[in-house]
Amino acid sequence: MQGKIALEEHFAIAETAGDSMGYFPEPVRTEVRARNADIHGRRLALMDEYGIEMMLLSLNAPAVQAIVDKARAQEVARIANDWLAEQVAKRPDRFQGLAALAMQDAEGAARELERCVTQLGFRGALVNGFSQSADADAVLYYDAPQYRPFWATVERLDVPFYLHPRNPLPRDAHIYDGHPWLLGPIWAFGQETAVHALRLMASGLFDAHPRLQIILGHLGENLPYAMWRIDNANAWIPNRNKWPAKKRIGEYFSANFYLTTSGNFRTQALINAMLEIGTDRIMFSVDWPFENIDHGANWFDACPIGENDRIKIGRTNARRLFKLGSD
CB neighbour list of residue 224: distance below 8 Å, 6 or more residues apart? 259, 269, 272, 273, 275, 276, 277
Query: For residues 218 and 198, what is the distance between their CA atoms, to the nearest angstrom?
Result: 16
What is the DSSP pairing of strand 161-163 with strand 214-216? Answer: parallel
CB neighbour list of residue 232: distance below 8 Å, 6 or more residues apart? none
User: Is the CB of residue 52 less than 8 Å from the CB of residue 5?
Assistant: yes
* Active-site annotation holder among 287, 294, 301, 327: 287
Phi-psi region of 111 (alpha: psi -120 to 50; beta: other; left: phi over 0): alpha
Quote the DSSP letter at residue 55: E
Q: DSSP for 176-235, please give it.
A: GTT-GGGTGGGTHHHHHHHHHHHHHHHTTHHHH-TT--EEESTTTTTHHHHHHHHHHTTT
Q: Across the chain, how many H-helices and E-strands are there?
A: 13, 10
- Is 48 a known active-site residue? no
CB neighbour list of residue 119: distance below 8 Å, 6 or more residues apart? none
84-to-116, 117, 213, 214, 219 alpha-carbon distances in Å: 10, 13, 23, 22, 26
User: At 171, is the secondary structure helix, strand, or coil?
Assistant: helix
Query: For residues 92 and 272, what is the distance between their CA atoms, to the nearest angstrom?
Result: 34
Query: For residues 79 and 82, what is the distance between their CA atoms, to the nearest angstrom?
Result: 5
Catalytic annotation, residues: 287
